Amino acid sequence: MANHQSALKRIRSNEKRRILNRYHAKTMRNAVKKFRGLTEKKLAEEGLPKLVSLIDKLAKKRIIHKNKAANLKSSLMLKTRAM
């Protein structure tokens, strides 16, 4: 166990951060799953910018890797164009 007050505080702050990161990542995964379930092109075109923005924000905060963000955005755009 940690011996210093700063180490104890670091443990607490790391746990808070971990929970927030999991929440944001799960929110993004749910949004992607919902988007992939869309069948109307108009709805997909309206929702795509919001989803891309969400993915970019998570990549900027390093919650997801930048390459994963690029792959997700690419596949979502391909799906939208193919509708």
Average pLDDT of the segment spanning 53-59: 95
pLDDT reported for residue 15? 96
Domain map (residue ranges) of the chain: 5-82
Nearest one of 24, 32, 26 to 60, comparing CA atoms: 24
pTM of the model: 0.82
5-82 folds as Methane Monooxygenase Hydroxylase; Chain G, domain 1 (1.20.58)
7-23: pLDDT as tens digits: 999 999 999 999 999 99
pLDDT reported for residue 2? 74
